[in-house]
Structures are given as structure tokens and as C-alpha cells.
């Protein structure tokens, strides 16, 4: 059985990592291999790690209001590394009106406070399955 590898990262200067760590543990308990990169990183760093770790999906957490900048930045950094197949999911304190903008920019799903853990796990699993399917036969 292929194990799903995901990256949980916090872009920007936001240091509130409880949410990110909670998601990392949650996914570990659901059988995922979770690469946690810690707080305060650039979109470039996160995308670069995602490529060398060959993850299927990235979960970004932002509680500081910088999501409109950083989430799309990660998407485009992946693109510039020929890694658009890596899915990007986001979560944090994100106003409703920003969600369509983020989805439009290439983020797969956005989770806001109160999102049920089971939904989050299901979304990651779906993203990983889609990634695996897309990559079948590549290389």
C-alpha cells in the first residue's frame, strides 16, 4: 500500500502553530506521513521542501491575515518547479469573501475555524488520491 505523504507548513510571520500542529497529529493518526516544517517560512521554502519530499499535498495554515498573499504564492512557486500536481489546501482565520479568491488562485479547499476533523482528513485523502492518479505512469 502506498503511504500518503503531506506537508504542513506555516507561511509568513504568523507564529500561532497550534492549529497546524493539531492537523499534523490528526493526519498522523489517520496514517499519513506528515512533514512538518515549523513556523515562519516563505512560499519558496515551502514549495522547495514539498518537491524534495515528494509530497502529494500541502496544508497551509495562516491566522494572521496574510493568506491572500501566501497561499497563491505557494501555488505559483509549485508551478515554477513543475510541480502543479501537488495539491494545496488551506486553513485558518479566513473571511468568507476571501475563499473564492483563494480557490480561483488554485487552492483546493479552505477550512475555517470549527471545520470538523473528519472533513479535513477526507479532503487530504481525496487530494492525495487525485494526485496519485494524475501521476500514474509519470516517470
Partner 1 sequence: MSNRAQKLLADIKNKNARAIGKAISIVENETELCDDLLIGLSESEMPQYLVLGITGNPGAGKSTLTDKIIAHYRKQNQRIGIIAIDPTSPISGGAILGDRIRMMQHATDSDVVIRSMATRGRLGGLCSCAGATVRIMAASGCNPIIIETVGVGQSEIDIVSLADISLLVSAPGLGDDIQAMKAGLLEVADLLVINKADLPGATALFRDLQMLAREKEREITKTIASTGEGVDKLIKQIELLEKDYNESSYILKKREASKKKEIIDWSLEMVRAKLEKNIEHFALTNSDPRLQAKDFIKQHLKDMQ
Q: Is 2 in the site for partner 1 (CB under 8 A)?
A: yes
Closest separation in Å from C-beta 112 to partner 1: 24
Closer residue to partner 1, CB minimum distance, 78 or 102: 78
Q: Is 18 in the site for partner 1 (CB under 8 A)?
A: no
| Nearest in space to 86 (alpha carbons), one of 52, 37, 120, 42 | 52
Task: Point out which span in 58-66, 79-87, 97-105, 123-131 binds partner 1 (CB under 8 A).
Answer: 79-87
**Sign of dihedral through CA atoms 36, 41, 46, 48?**
negative
Out of 22, 45, 66, 106, name the contact with partner 1 by CB under 8 A: 45
Does residue 56 contact residue 6 with C-beta atoms inside 8 Å?
yes
CA dist 83 and 76 (Å) reads 9
Q: Is 133 in the site for partner 1 (CB under 8 A)?
A: no
Cβ neighbours for 121, distance < 8 A, ≥ 6 positions apart: 26, 27, 30
**Which residues are at the interface with partner 1 (CB under 8 A)?**
2-3, 5, 24-25, 27-38, 41-42, 44-46, 48-49, 51-54, 81-83, 138-139
Amino acid at each position: 500500500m502506498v503511504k500518503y505523504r503531506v506537508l504542513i507548513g506555516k507561511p509568513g510571520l504568523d507564529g500561532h502553530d497550534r492549529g497546524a500542529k493539531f492537523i499534523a497529529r490528526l493526519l498522523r493518526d489517520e496514517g499519513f506521513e506528515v512533514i512538518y516544517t515549523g513556523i515562519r517560512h516563505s512560499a519558496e521554502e515551502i514549495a522547495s521542501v514539498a518537491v524534495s519530499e515528494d509530497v502529494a499535498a500541502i496544508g497551509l495554515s495562516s491566522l494572521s491575515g496574510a493568506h491572500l498573499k501566501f497561499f497563491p504564492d505557494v501555488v505559483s512557486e509549485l508551478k515554477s518547479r513543475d510541480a502543479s500536481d501537488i495539491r494545496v489546501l488551506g486553513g485558518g482565520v479566513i473571511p468568507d469573501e476571501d475563499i473564492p479568491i483563494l480557490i480561483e488562485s488554485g487552492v483546493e479547499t479552505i477550512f475555517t475555524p470549527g471545520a470538523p476533523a473528519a472533513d479535513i482528513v477526507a479532503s487530504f485523502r481525496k487530494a492525495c488520491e487525485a494526485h496519485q492518479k494524475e501521476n500514474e505512469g509519470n516517470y
